[in-house]
A and B are shown apart, each in its own frame.
Chain A
Amino acid sequence: MRIRILLPALAAAALAAAPAEAQPFRSDVTGPIITGSGVAGYPLVPIRDMEDALFRDVDGRTAFRNRAVADALLNAAAEAQRAACSGTLQPPRSWPRGVQLDREAQRIVCGLLARGLDRERVLNVLREGGPGRPGDAAERLVDALAGLGAVQTEFLGQRQQFIAGDRWQAAIRAYEELIDTAPDSLMDDPPAELVVIGVILVYAVDAGLRANEP
């Protein structure tokens, strides 16, 4: 009698378990991806982060990431400034052929970088002749660039191994913000001064980024 009860019970239990038995178990592939680089996120498709490549925080101040970056960026900027001062600044090779840089604009930007001259004039151009807002990107850019080429090297860190980069960071931030937020009326035919500033920054930033690559 017990067997007659037990057998159906066992059969019922087996049937109840059957769906699980029939299902694909696949324990090896039903967890996190473990058959490729997905387990490591997407580390090889990096996120844009120019500032992280060029700068670092040192005791609450912004410094160039390392000496190589500082040397490369500052040397490239000085070279570009010299070219602008002599009216021979050329656009980067990667730019479309035929782009010409206005010599007068080069002279004006040279004066701004070297001595902070023509500050209001450049600011007026970047604001398209409008009043602008105090502290807007155009003003911050001009403020950061004024006399930037004559700034004395300041060392940071306990061993004085880092070079201060506050002004350069401010200039790059303001420039990027201006490029991104300027009205189309300014950017569809950008003023020559802005183009010259952009060329100088492109040379400087490119050199700094290259120095950060092994």
Chain B
Amino acid sequence: MPFQPRPIVLLALAVLAAAPAAAQESAGGGPGSGHAAPRPARPVDECGRPAEPRQNRPRPQRRTPDPRPEPPLLGRPVAPQPSPEPAQPDPGVGTPPSDSTRPQEPGLPPVVPPGSPVETPVDSGAARRNRGLLRLRRPDAGLRLGPAASVSIPTAYGVDAGEAFFGVAYQGRTRYTRHDDAAAVIGFGIGTRRVLALEAALTTYSTFRGAPLETGGISFKLHRQLPRQSSVAVGWENAVLWGNSDDRGSLYVAGTRLLGLRQDPTQPFSTAVVTLGLGNGRFRFERDDAADRERINLFGALGVRVTGPVSLVTDWTGQDLNLAASITPIPRVPLVVTAGVADLTGEAGDGARFILSVGYGLSLRQPL
């Protein structure tokens, strides 16, 4: 058994150990998202103190941070304006009479008369933080699916407790042959990705020329969600094999991050998913694989969401350059169809090959 996972195991442990244990940002969320997502940090001024109202800031002069910062006030006080019709709250909702002569709350800045010539430079950092604070909460779970983020390589995303998936894959012809082939997989997760989750998958290979599960493998992936919609994973593909599989298992580490390219996720090219990883086994260069040299190689994928349900994906497996289009054809149904071309450059093999997969994700906890 030439399989020697030691270097990559050490690398994997290092990646997991480096993962921050802090609270995770929710997967769907912007600054105001989700119950698990922390709100953005309180607005602070250029000195790192909690932001004070503009009128209290002697900008641009810098001050030494106070040891006991004052409570921040988000929002300028209302400047009194002559109003022809004083606003009367709806008595039907229990509004007490307004009291415009009421003294200011302790700590509130003085009211600035309209037209007051207070010229202060704009604090872009405070503006960005206040935008984050004032944005409405984003749902953090399963409200719309994403098409595939990779073709042939594993991403660092995975399922956790209460989530499962199944799918089938087809190759128009396998490498160096004229025979087509197909496989099927079913998997589930345990644990929570916010701490550590394990994905386990059972695959049956060569289903066109053998009975189901006559040849198969079991794969594992430990993954952990990180802030900024990213994730890291350590996996062992085909850790258990039986039958006549021509694979011998692969260990890998991977990191994946979802990048928001546009503010509105319904716009074209709104998001991209980037994956980078290191692995042995099938991720080696073909020459190393053929010579049975135990090496670690780089793999990666880039998936760009062209429109809401459609993505274009390219990945480098360490041997093959693949290109595919992926679609979630039915709104709110977690069905993902991916079709493409493997070994686009003929780098490892005898020419490009058609590949197709259909997958379905399940969640027993959240409506996908």
Interface on A for B, CB 8 Å cutoff?
A: 20, 22-50, 52-53, 78, 81-82, 85-87, 91, 94-105, 107-108, 110-112, 114-115, 117-118, 121, 129, 149-150, 172, 175-176, 179-180, 182-196, 198, 201-202, 205-206, 209, 212-214
Contacts and interface: CB of A to CB of B under 8 A. Distances in A.
Contacts, number: 412
A195 B247 contact: no
Given A23-B290, A38-B154, A39-B185, A31 B355 contact: yes
A23 B285 CA distance: 11
A189 B76 contact: yes
Given A42-B148, A50-B136, A31 B290 contact: no
A70 B302 CA distance: 39
Nearest to B291: A22
B126 A35 contact: no
A85 B94 contact: yes
A36 B201 contact: yes
B93 A95 contact: no
Contacts of B168: 39
A214 B75 contact: no
B127 A184 contact: yes
Contacts of B148: 38-39, 41-42
B127 A27 contact: no
B31 to A, nearest CB: 11
Contacts of A43: 142, 145-146, 165, 334, 336, 361, 363, 368
Contact of A26 (B124, B175, B334): B175
A75 to B, nearest CB: 13
A42 B155 contact: yes
A40 B361 contact: yes
Contacts of B133: 95-96
A100 to B, nearest CB: 5
Interface of B is mostly: loop
Given A190-B76, A202-B136, A31 B152 contact: yes
Nearest to A79: B93
A30 B135 CA distance: 44
11 contacts: A25-B177, A31-B355, A32-B355, A33-B169, A36-B158, A37-B361, A39-B165, A39-B338, A99-B72, A193-B75, A213-B366
B367 to A, nearest CB: 7
A180 B108 CA distance: 27
B325 interface: no
A64 B73 CA distance: 34
Given A37-B159, A45-B146, A107 B89 contact: yes
B96 A86 contact: yes
Given A86-B94, A118-B83, A46 B73 contact: no
A100 B105 contact: yes
A207 B20 CA distance: 31
Interface residues of B, number: 156
Contacts of B83: 118, 121
A42 B176 contact: no
A37 B247 contact: no
A190 B129 CA distance: 11
Contacts of A32: 151-152, 169-171, 324, 338, 340, 355-357
A48 B28 contact: yes
Contacts of A99: 42, 71-75
B78 interface: yes
A190 B134 contact: yes
Contacts of A190: 74-76, 130, 134
Given A35-B185, A40-B336, A25 B174 contact: yes
Contacts of B153: 33, 38
Nearest to A209: B139
B96 A24 contact: no
Interface in B199-240: 199, 201, 203, 205-206, 215, 217, 219, 221, 229, 231, 235, 237-238
A203 to B, nearest CB: 10
Contacts of A31: 152, 169-171, 174, 181, 183, 342, 353, 355, 357
A111 B89 contact: yes
Contacts of B157: 37-38, 42, 44-45
B306 interface: no
A104 B78 contact: yes
B90 A115 contact: yes
Which 3 pairs show the lowest CB-CB distances between chains A and B? Answer: A98-B71, A96-B42, A114-B90
A114 B93 contact: yes
B255 interface: no
Contacts of B123: 184, 188-189
